[in-house]
Amino acid sequence: MDEKKAWVIWPEYFDAALTRAQGRKVKKTLSIANPTLEMVEKAVQRLGLEYKVESDKAYPGDWYEKRGRVLVDKKMSKGELLAKMGEILIKAQRS
């Protein structure tokens, strides 16, 4: 999957400990503590979208820590995708 033709999703987008300026992209109510690459991958799987995991990548704002990222097929807007993934992550963390 080509980065130019996919949404790039970083675990940092869902990290409740981060501010918007630090990289969180979803509302606080859709964020969780310490999201991992595996958690993000499972959320994408639950949505049934095509994806590719790149575990050797580092978020630009946190370049020294390689937490990885997921490339996701552009089947919906990025905002809609992040909101749906946030809901899945919240439910997964509660159970």
CATH number of 3-94: 3.30.56.30
Separation CA 23–CA 63 (nearest Å): 12
Q: Buried (b) or exposed (e) across 25-47, using 16+ Cβ within 10 A?
A: bbeeebbbeebebebbbebbeeb
Would you place residue 3 in the very low, low, confident or very high pLDDT band (cuts 50, 70, 90)?
confident
Concatenated DSSP letters of 36-63: -HHHHHHHHHHHT--EEEETT---GGGT
pLDDT tens-place string over residues 49-82: 999 999 999 999 888 889 999 999 999 999 999 9
Name the pTM for this structure.
Answer: 0.92
Separation CA 95–CA 57 (nearest Å): 29
What CA–CA distances, in Å, run from 62 to 35, 49, 81? 14, 27, 22
